[in-house]
Amino acid sequence: MIVAIASGKGGTGKTTIAAALARTWDAPRIAVDMDVEAPNLHLLLSPTIEGEEEATLDVPVVVEPENCDGCGACSDICAFKAILVLRGKPAIFTELCHGCDGCLQVCLRGVLGRGKRDLGTVSWGRANAADRASSDLRMVSGRMRICENTCPPLIRHVRTRLDAMLRERQADVIIDAPPGTNCPALTALRDIDVLLLVTEPTPFGLHDLDLAVRAFQSDRVPAAVVINRAGLGDDELIRAYCRRGGLPVVAEIPYRRDLAERCARGEPLEAMGADLRERIAALAGSVRALAHRSVAA
């Protein structure tokens, strides 16, 4: 089962929920940080890193400039304006390239060859073996290179590593998706079984939850909502929205100053009292029920 935790905006507590689910999940699991622009799941799970690799993207480079006849086919096919033909010669803006290979396919004169652009790193490991509750917890995460501006290719590298880990050992997967309703989030939410949307009971929270529902909801993937910081604003605003859209609210995490302070210090949510432990356990049960619904459909 692959469950993704997403949100229409940053700062809703998505990573806190993902970490709590990952720590308490009662089966082998892999926690995946696909928020590659600002990965921080590792801060809450403290994995021992066992491997790391550089991730790169194939990009075009000019290798035989004298062969160019200025036809413009490479520029015409590029949806990202990453290659222009200026005074009859190709000029490549490597940072804009998404690595689709289109220009290399249409250039019939051998002008272009393949180069590499560094995207960042992918690392993987397992939770501290001293922590018995987390002994079946592995982790993989991506970290984007400073000044890199395109997330999806690195997210695809994270997914490739995840697939390799799943071939070695069967496990459930808990994805901490990038915040927002953008290409990185859509890339992270491919081929999932359950979608959890974390929101907060404020007008901004409702607005961005609605964006996320419109962007991500599909007939194939059951979705549910977690209200974080319940009691901060108008909880009924979110509940009514979910009722109208047929979205189950599967957990509410109360807003309390002491909880916020302990979360900010990196303390596990589920360790902050029996009530929260029960709420996270119930959330895990709801996720499993949604996954079964997904399989049955």
Which residues of this chain interact with ligand SF4, rule CB under 6 A? 59-60, 68-74, 77-78, 80, 82-83, 85, 90, 97-103, 106-107, 109, 111-112
Nearest-approach distance from CB 64 to ligand SF4, in angstroms: 9
Instruction: Pick the closer one to ligand SF4 by CB: 75 or 199.
Output: 75
- Of the pair 61, 215, the CB lying nearest ligand SF4 is at 61
**Six-digit token pair at 140?**
């993989």
In three-state secondary structure terms, 164 is: helix
Nearer to ligand SF4, 100 or 215 (CB): 100
Nearer to ligand SF4, 50 or 64 (CB): 64
Closer to ligand SF4 at the Cβ: 56 or 217? Answer: 56
Burial 251-277 (b: 16+ CB within 10 A, else e): bbbebeeebeeebeeeebbbebeeebb
Tell me whether residue 69 or residue 278 sits nearer to ligand SF4 (CB atom): 69
Min dist CB 86 to ligand SF4, Å, is 10
Least separation, in Å, of the C-beta of 186 and ligand SF4? 18
Strand 89-92, strand 83-86: pairing: antiparallel
Query: Amino acid letter at 72?
Result: G
The helix-helix angle for 235-245 and 203-216 (nearest 10°) equals 20
Question: Residue 58 CB, nearest distance to ligand SF4 (Å)?
Answer: 8
**Structural Rg of the chain based on CA atoms:** 22
- Judged by CB, which is closer to ligand SF4: 96, or 211? 96
State in angstroms the smallest separation of the CB of 246 from ligand SF4.
39
Kindly report the backbone phi and psi dihedral angles of residue 86, in degrees, each rounded to the nearest multiple of 5, phi listed first.
-115, 125
Closest distance between ligand SF4 and the C-beta of residue 72, in Å? 5
Q: How far apart are CA 28 and CA 126, in angstroms?
A: 11
Residue 117 Cβ vs ligand SF4, minimum distance, rounded to whole Å? 10
Specify whether the CB–CB gap between 147 and 84 falls below 8 A. no
d(CA 249, CA 71): 56
**How many Å apart are CA 289 and CA 237, to the nearest integer?**
25
Q: Could you tell me the CA-to-CA distances from 211 to 183, 230, 287 in Å, in that order?
A: 14, 20, 22
